[in-house]
Amino acid sequence: MLQGSCHCGAVRWVFDGRPDSATACNCTVCRRYAALWAYGYENEGITVSGPTSRYVRGDQVLGFHFCNACGCMAYWRALEAEVGGRRRMGVNLRLAEPDGLVDIPVRRVDWLDESGGLPMDGRRISDFWV
């Protein structure tokens, strides 16, 4: 189980288990947040708590949730549930303590030109933790 919280501790998330990889996305939003994402479904391995504000970008697909007090980007959540009622989410692994995360492989995704996933290059979270 992984846990993360914003700087002031008001917003928290729990990721049940250990992600196979983290995602570093370079889309117009994620590159500004510099987040490393672990994916799952709301209340199916990911739980969140605490008051947040939400930013919804132009495509109206995802809501990016950040702490009202300290401003840390905690997670994103799909605005609409998938067929079957499941709601996709991603938690920002940079809000977890680095111990135990450093060896998780990082998958880079190139959405600036919408080409999608890039080949795995052996980088781990420790390579992004500067």
Domains of the chain with CATH codes: 2-122 (2.170.150.70)
Torsion of CA 12, 16, 20, 24, to 10 degrees: -10
Q: What average pLDDT does this structure show over 40-51?
A: 95
User: Which pLDDT belongs to residue 69?
Assistant: 97
**Which candidate, 120, 103, 99, places its Cα nearest to that of 24?**
120
pLDDT in tens, 54-81: 999 888 899 999 999 999 999 999 999 9
User: Which pLDDT belongs to residue 115?
Assistant: 60
User: Which pLDDT belongs to residue 93?
Assistant: 95
pLDDT in tens, 87-126: 999 999 999 998 878 888 988 877 666 665 666 677 777 7
What is the pTM (predicted TM-score) of this model? 0.87
Q: What average pLDDT does this structure show over 41-65?
A: 93
Burial class of residue 18 in the structure, from the number of CB atoms within 10 Å of its CB (0-12 exposed, 13-18 middle, 19+ buried): exposed
Structure tokens given for 14: 């729990």
